[in-house]
Amino acid sequence: MAKGRANLGTAFYINDSKHDVGWETIGFYTSQNPPPGWPLPPFVLDALGLPSLSTAHNLGKVRNKGLELSAEVRFNRYVSGSGNYSWQARPESKDFDVSLYNLPPTHRFNAGLDFDYKRYLGNVSVGYVGSAYWTDVLGAAYGGPTKAYTAVNAGAGVRWGSHAKYLAMLKVSNLANTPIQNHVFGDILKRQISDELRVRF
């Protein structure tokens, strides 16, 4: 604490789970073994890697652990800031290969500043997410990593009317227009701009 103007936090966790159910593909359709009624030329199957048989299995015991650090600071009555960092270890299993699990980003970081003065307010933040690996029930051909990315966001607004009844804000996410993919087969997210109008009753 700094006379009530700063708050620091830390947390560490170990989470043991068991009996999670996973899927594994053990057979694929090929040009020599097409599915019934296949409408396209058989050689297409050799490129697709279309699963023909999957099986469910118990993934046994899995251990996840991680650490998080956080801070909140009020610099003065108009400006405040916050930040957090988290580290997450690779899942640990004695029963199955770790490739059967989703691997979360090892590092995440966020920091931001908020400004609020009379009629005006605004904020700016930066966030970093490390690379992750995603598995899929359709097999290794449908899983894969996502790239690490850094995104900068900002917003600005103004109040007006009796008792600041109205508030208009302009928000911009991913200012640098960085391609962001949160899942290996997810959408590619780029810059987004939105406006917001609030009315207090």
User: In this structure, what token pair is assigned to residue 177?
Assistant: 């227009």
Distance CA 141, CA 94 (A): 25
The Cα–Cα gap between 59 and 96 comes to 6
pLDDT tens digits for 110-145? 999 999 999 999 999 999 999 998 876 565 666 788
Of 163, 164, 152, the residue nearest 191 (C-alpha) = 152
**pLDDT digit string (tens) for 151-174?**
999 999 999 998 889 999 999 999
Q: Where are the domains of the chain?
A: 6-16+61-199, 21-58
pLDDT at 1 over 60: no
Residue 93 CB-density burial (10 A; 0-12 exposed, 13-18 middle, 19+ buried):
middle
Query: Which pair of structure tokens corresponds to residue 61?
Result: 């015991």
